[in-house]
Amino acid sequence: MGDNGELSASIKWPKIKSKPNLSVSYLKNLDLFTVENCLTSDESKGFVKIAESLGFTHQGSRGPAYGEAFRDNHRISVNDPVLADTLWQSGLSNLFTDIKIRRKVAVGLNPNIRFYRYSAGQHFGRHIDESVDLEDGKRTYYTLLIYLSGNNNAKSKSKSSSSSKTNDSSSAEPLVGGETVFYGSRNSIVAEVAPVEGMALFHIHGDKCMLHEGRNVSKGVKYVFRSDVVFA
């Protein structure tokens, strides 16, 4: 699980444009929502290119027999407070102005940035995300996923999308599968979110985290940018 934290200062990340008018779709009140066009297509592709140049490391698990969710993907971990702050200030901070948890307010993103790659046949079984304690009494309460690949025509089952963009006619095979699925009581499906390039998914984690999974990728490659929202 290579951590490129020491290299982060020399990485030339894509320049992230300011996005003051992000469109939010609430799938389960404030506990689960998506944000279209959190990254532009160029920004998303830029992150994929850089992540591939850094080199992914395979991540597996011992599986449910050992009390671990099934996991089969590749990942990179980079510690980069500047990147985390740049993305937060680009428009994401506005989404959390009215969200308070245990008298704490959102102050930024976890500088521990992770990139995940799922190729055909790979998936992440049902699991929950834990809160993480950071320095100075800070704690994470939301997971942030930004899909860096995915069909712009895809629709989440619990939301409507007016997007009519056609697939990028690059040599890359269009992504099929890889939906993020959230479960409620008695295995009921709360939401199915299909990856769309540049779309962000926020969901509460820790004590209130919903059981969720990343479904099997059938075709193409699913790339994900992962961080957490920090409260203080």
Check pLDDT > 50 for residue 173.
yes
Q: Which of 6-20, 105-119, 121-135, 184-198 has the lowest mean pLDDT?
A: 6-20
Check pLDDT > 50 for residue 169.
no
Output 46 or 160, whichever has higher pLDDT. 46
State the Cα–Cα distance between residues 126 and 121, nearest whole angstrom: 16
Percent of the chain's residues with pLDDT above 70? 87
Check pLDDT > 90 for residue 112.
yes
Q: Which pLDDT score is estimated for 64?
A: 73
List Cβ neighbours of 36 (8 Å cut-off, separation of 6 or more): 22, 23, 25, 161, 163, 196, 198, 199
When pLDDT is cut at 50, 70 and 90, the band that residue 188 belongs to is: very high
Instruction: Tell me what the mean pLDDT of segment 54-80 comes to.
Output: 85
Output 11 or 110, whichever has higher pLDDT. 110
Instruction: Tell me what the mean pLDDT of segment 44-69 comes to.
Output: 87
Cβ 174 vs Cβ 219: under 8 Å: yes
State the Cα–Cα distance between residues 138 and 46, nearest whole angstrom: 30
Give me the phi and psi of 65, to 5 degrees please: -60, -25
State the Cα–Cα distance between residues 152 and 156, nearest whole angstrom: 11
**Structure confidence by residue, pLDDT tens digits, 124-133:** 888 788 999 9
Output 122 or 165, whichever has higher pLDDT. 122
Q: Is 116 helix (H, G, I), strand (E, B) or coil?
A: strand
Q: Which of 30-34, 154-158, 208-212 has the lowest mean pLDDT?
A: 154-158
Check pLDDT > 60 for residue 162.
no
Cβ 122 vs Cβ 75: under 8 Å: no
* Strand stretches in 56-196, DSSP E: 57-60, 72-79, 100-101, 104-109, 112-118, 124-127, 139-147, 176-177, 180-183, 189-193
When pLDDT is cut at 50, 70 and 90, the band that residue 212 belongs to is: confident
- Average per-residue pLDDT for the chain: 87
pTM over 0.85: yes
Instruction: Tell me what the mean pLDDT of segment 111-135 comes to.
Output: 91
List Cβ neighbours of 53 (8 Å cut-off, separation of 6 or more): none
Q: Which residue in this structure is represented by tokens 């079984």?
A: 125
List Cβ neighbours of 200 (8 Å cut-off, separation of 6 or more): 34, 35, 38, 39, 92, 144, 145, 146, 147
Instruction: Tell me what the mean pLDDT of segment 222-227 comes to.
Output: 97
Taking phi over 0 as left and psi of -120 to 50 as alpha, with beta for the rest, 43 belongs to alpha
Output 231 or 212, whichever has higher pLDDT. 231
Give me the phi and psi of 184, to 5 degrees please: -105, -150
| CA proximity to 113, closest of 231, 10, 226, 230 | 226
Q: Which pLDDT score is estimated for 195?
A: 97
Q: Which pLDDT score is estimated for 129?
A: 85
